[in-house]
Amino acid sequence: MKLWLPLLLCICVIAAAPVVSEPPAWQAGAASAKITPEKSMWMAGYASRTKPSEGVELDLFAKAFVLTDQAGARFALITLDLIGVPRNLRLAVAERVKKEHGIDPANLAINASHTHSGPELRTSNIHGSAVAVQRGKEAAEYTTKLENTLLRLIGEAIQKSVPAHLDYSTARCGVSMNRRTPDGKGGWSNFPNPNGPVDQTVPVLKASSAEGKDIAIIFGYSCHCTTLGHQKFSGDYAGYAQQEIEKAHPDAVAMFANGCSGDQNPYPRRTMELAQTHGKSLATSVQTALETHMQRLKGPIRAAYREIPLAYDTLPTREQLLEEQKSTNKYLAAHGTRLLQHIADEGPLPTSYPYPVQVLRLGNELTWVTLGGEVVIDYSLRLKRDLKDPIVWISGYTNDVMAYIPSLRIWQEGGYEGGGAMIYGTHPTRWSDKTEEHIISTVMELRKAVND
């Protein structure tokens, strides 16, 4: 009997110890809605598609997270299982979020997963064909509905907000690989390059209630959402990762924010099973981060946002465009036609594009930089080096997805991400060689503007 006494004493001492719990430093809420098109639509991401969607493999979602600090300042994040964020959608949502919920446009980030198995969102007659008129009409109807859904989600997230803790950690996931490989002829192929630069970090932010109930699990990764390229709607690996996390954490809204994925692909690819496998791998990494020394974040929300006039390279002349129009490359010929049409309808070609740069600080540790477009991995690696904050998170595909955004290295190397892909859009030519410096110097200025 004597042997039991010390053990019993120990239990008593433990049970009598006061429970130490710090008061939550935030209010947080999240909401989610299905945004899978209700009917067949043209799909986005591959110019070579010849027919509209044929069914659904995995539903698409829009999700919202709203965080409020002790002074009442708010940050709103929207994530979309879609190819991009049309500029007009961002502007309309930002204006209404300000008007209806009092959240400043600088404090709103809208990130797209860049799934290539979602609906086409471009409303312009992008490929100059008769089918494109129908495609544009469908896209306009879809985005109008989406705008209302996003506003409703922000309202819901505010309404659901409760006192919350915010914790951060990271893990790694090996799904992504650099996709620029020298083709042996002085150019670049879209082919797995195990020796090319990557950033396989998986940043994870968790909001939970004072009682420890999950509210939201927000995670990032730098990898193109292109495991799939077929005719069914799907959120691809990012959709499956969110589904897995929500299965394991039924109270949480799982939100994926794509990173600097311009030159990063998932490998291998092309089947639904691989999209599921990559999704599970990423979800496993998120779980690892959740179990690995999460750091509690406290402090105020600060945000700075600027649209910079990102300059194009030397514009093509009318004569050059007339030549382009005669090209045997149908995409190049259509690009020439579009630009000549622009000159006829609207006058001279633009010399720059309004490019969004955002710096958010959630508490005193985390600096979250969001950039528009398909930013290549060099931006993530450089900004993590240049910014001296304890935690740095870089997201691309945010607030507008207008084109690839090469670093100076990739601009000089050329190839698809360096400027070649510009013929598929409405941009007059590639970006200028000042692109990287203009974006990085803006990030640094905005970072200073949100100093303590």
Q: Which residue is nearest to Zn ion (CB)?
A: 374
* Rounded Cα–Cα distance for residues 7 and 5 (Å): 5
Nearer to Zn ion, 24 or 84 (CB): 84
Tell the smallest beta-carbon distance from residue 427 to Zn ion (Å). 14
Residues 166, 169, 173, CA angle at the centre, nearest 5°? Answer: 135
Residues 262 to 291 in contact with Zn ion, rule: CB under 5 A: none
Tell the smallest beta-carbon distance from residue 300 to Zn ion (Å). 35
Tell the smallest beta-carbon distance from residue 224 to Zn ion (Å). 5
Both structure tokens of 242? 């969110």
Residue type, 362: L
Nearer to Zn ion, 241 or 301 (CB): 241
Q: Which of 215, 173, 152 is nearest to 24 (CA)?
A: 215
Say which residues have a Cβ less than 8 Å from residue 59's Cβ, sequence separation at least 6: 34, 36, 233, 235, 239
Tell the smallest beta-carbon distance from residue 204 to Zn ion (Å). 24
Please count the residues of this chain forming the interface with Zn ion, following the rule CB under 5 A: 1
Q: Is 225 left (phi over 0), alpha (psi -120 to 50) or beta?
A: beta
Residues for the chain: how many in total?
452
Nearer to Zn ion, 84 or 428 (CB): 84
* Rounded Cα–Cα distance for residues 243 and 249 (Å): 10
Pattern of binders to Zn ion over 237-266, x per CB under 5 A?
------------------------------
Question: Is residue 446 within 8 Å of 306, Cβ to Cβ?
Answer: yes
Nearer to Zn ion, 356 or 363 (CB): 356
Distance of CA 41 to the CA centre of its chain: 22
Tell the smallest beta-carbon distance from residue 173 to Zn ion (Å). 19
Residues 181 to 220 in contact with Zn ion, rule: CB under 5 A: none
Choices 19-27, 32-40, 145-153, 368-376 (CB under 5 A): range interacting with Zn ion: 368-376
Choices 11-19, 184-192, 211-219, 369-377 (CB under 5 A): range interacting with Zn ion: 369-377
Nearer to Zn ion, 84 or 203 (CB): 84
Q: Which of 125, 98, 106, 6 is nearest to 307 (CA)?
A: 106
Nearer to Zn ion, 69 or 374 (CB): 374
Residues 373 to 392 in contact with Zn ion, rule: CB under 5 A: 374
Nearer to Zn ion, 69 or 378 (CB): 378
Choices 128-136, 279-287, 366-374, 377-385 (CB under 5 A): range interacting with Zn ion: 366-374
Tell the smallest beta-carbon distance from residue 254 to Zn ion (Å). 22
* Rounded alpha-carbon distances, angstroms, from residue 124 to 21, 86, 128, 299, 420: 54, 11, 9, 43, 21
* Rounded Cα–Cα distance for residues 126 and 410 (Å): 26
Question: Residue 23 class from Cβ within 10 Å (0-12 exposed, 13-18 middle, 19+ buried)?
Answer: exposed
The Cβ of residue 287 has, within 10 Å, a number of other Cβ atoms equal to 17
Nearer to Zn ion, 374 or 400 (CB): 374
Tell the smallest beta-carbon distance from residue 261 to Zn ion (Å). 7
Tell the smallest beta-carbon distance from residue 329 to Zn ion (Å). 20
Nearer to Zn ion, 107 or 227 (CB): 227
Question: Is residue 396 within 8 Å of 275, Cβ to Cβ?
Answer: no
Tell the smallest beta-carbon distance from residue 116 to Zn ion (Å). 7
Nearer to Zn ion, 417 or 436 (CB): 417
Choices 160-168, 195-203, 250-258, 371-379 (CB under 5 A): range interacting with Zn ion: 371-379
* Rounded Cα–Cα distance for residues 260 and 222 (Å): 5
H helix or E strand, kind and range, residue 152 = helix 130-159
Place of tokens 């005669």: 326
Tell the smallest beta-carbon distance from residue 318 to Zn ion (Å). 30
Pattern of binders to Zn ion over 321-360, x per CB under 5 A?
----------------------------------------
Q: Which residues bind Zn ion (CB under 5 A)?
A: 374
